[in-house]
Amino acid sequence: MSYRKIIAFFALLAAGVAAIAEEPRDHSVPFVSESFETGELARLRKLYNFDEMISKGSSELEQMLLLKNWVFRNIPYRQNYEYSQLHNSLQILQLATANIGVLCTQLSAVYTQLAVAMGWTSRYVYNRNPAGDEHSTNEIWSNQLAKWIYIDTTWNLHVEKSGVPLSALEVRREWLANKGRNLVYVFGAGAGEARYTTAQFPVKRSDNRAWQLWPLDDTWVSYTWQIAWIGRNDFFTNNQRFWDTIWIYTDEANDNDDGWGLRQQPALDAASLYHDVNRVDIHLSSRDARLVTVRLDASGPGNITPNFDRFLVRVNGSEWRAVDGDTVTVGATGPNTTVQARVRNKFGVLGPVATRVLRSYAQPLAPARP
């Protein structure tokens, strides 16, 4: 598909704003997240009872894919440029209720904000294939897998290799290596899930206008030729700054392709682009013969923790307990004590588990003060 009209406008807009938004406060990654206190998030979450909808998923990953499937099923796709600058999902859903179709840019905005409303971290991704056609998608951080996952709500797809969901950059590398022959394209979620391989291309479906216009073939994966990430998801409170932070990725394969307006934006390396979310670093701040003081850090290099609430800690596989502040004292009574920690954010979502072996047994943690 061609979005040259809209992208030409995007490039002009991007050229007139700063490349980087607010300086990061407590971490090294300049990503701006929507606040838990933003009232539109609660409204959005309750609008169609999303809690009940995603509860059908038996894991966090399944819930994220159910959310993707819901966006695909409830927002009609059309080549409608009238609303090309609209990123407010409440307004986009009102259009959908009136059966007014929108572009991939709006479907991506809705998935971003729905994910944030559920307590997850999602980001907006722009793509361009070698032919110059452009497309909007998403990535979402999986606490379950401790990695980023590439999401396409327009085609209702995510991509796996050997059963592992891939990020946009991982998909790109597979495409460059062998045109994605080892990839599995997973459509939908739950009972309606379908899996396709390149041996089945082209795959034709009639689910929406995009599938009717562009069956699944090698073109889809080629959109990872050029990738740009929007460095914020606070579209409700700062939509006027949507274009303030844009990152791109370049390498030898696309370095000579300067026909994309977004190539003017800063290029980051893969490690910076694929920073962690909700990671806890466990440090030993002091110890003596009987006690070990453990300091917990969720704002380390290459890590962001949006809407942090508190740390949860357990010792030697005991019950998880919330702790006040960022330190906990462990009573040492022998070798090989295992301390585990994770973040709980203000939405109640739990981050990945971090583990540190202290080489000393510990007594169970005392309950935190209420």
Same domain (yes/no): 172, 191: yes
Same domain (yes/no): 198, 231: yes
d(CA 59, CA 353): 16
Q: What is the DSSP annotation of 123-165?
A: EEEEEE-TTS-EEEEEEEEETTTTEEEEEBTTTTEEEEETTEE
Which residue is listed with tokens 């009232």? 39
Same domain (yes/no): 250, 147: yes
Same domain (yes/no): 173, 265: yes
**Sign of the four-CA dihedral 165, 169, 173, 179:** positive
Which residue is listed with tokens 């929007």? 230
Which residue, among 341, 77, 96, 102, has the nearest Cα to 212 in the 3D structure? 77
pLDDT at position 48 is 87
pLDDT at position 360 is 60
Token pair, residue 264, equals 């003017």
Span 212-235, pLDDT tens digits: 999 999 999 999 999 999 999 999
C-alpha dist (Å) from residue 55 to 63, 66, 118: 7, 9, 11
Answer whether residue 101 is part of any domain. yes
Q: Tell which of 275, 299, 332 closes a domain.
A: 275
Which residue is listed with tokens 């739950």? 190
How many domains is the chain built from? 2
What range defines the domain where residue 30 resides? 4-275
pLDDT at position 365 is 64
Q: Tell which of 245, 275, 305 closes a domain.
A: 275
Same domain (yes/no): 326, 348: yes
Same domain (yes/no): 20, 70: yes
Answer whether residue 253 is part of any domain. yes
Q: What is the pTM of this model?
A: 0.90
Residues of the chain with pLDDT under 50: 1-27, 370
pLDDT at position 44 is 95
Same domain (yes/no): 192, 252: yes
Helix pair 39-47, 89-97: axis angle to 10 deg: 30
Same domain (yes/no): 198, 325: no
Answer whether residue 367 is part of any domain. no
Same domain (yes/no): 304, 187: no
Same domain (yes/no): 186, 126: yes
Span 53-103, pLDDT tens digits: 999 999 999 999 999 999 999 999 999 999 999 999 999 999 999 999 999
Q: In what order do the strands lie in the sheet with 184-187?
A: 164-165, 157-161, 184-187, 194-196
Share of the chain above pLDDT 90, in %: 77
pLDDT at position 364 is 64
Answer whether residue 175 is part of any domain. yes
Residue 340 sits in a domain whose CATH number is 2.60.40.10
pLDDT at position 14 is 37
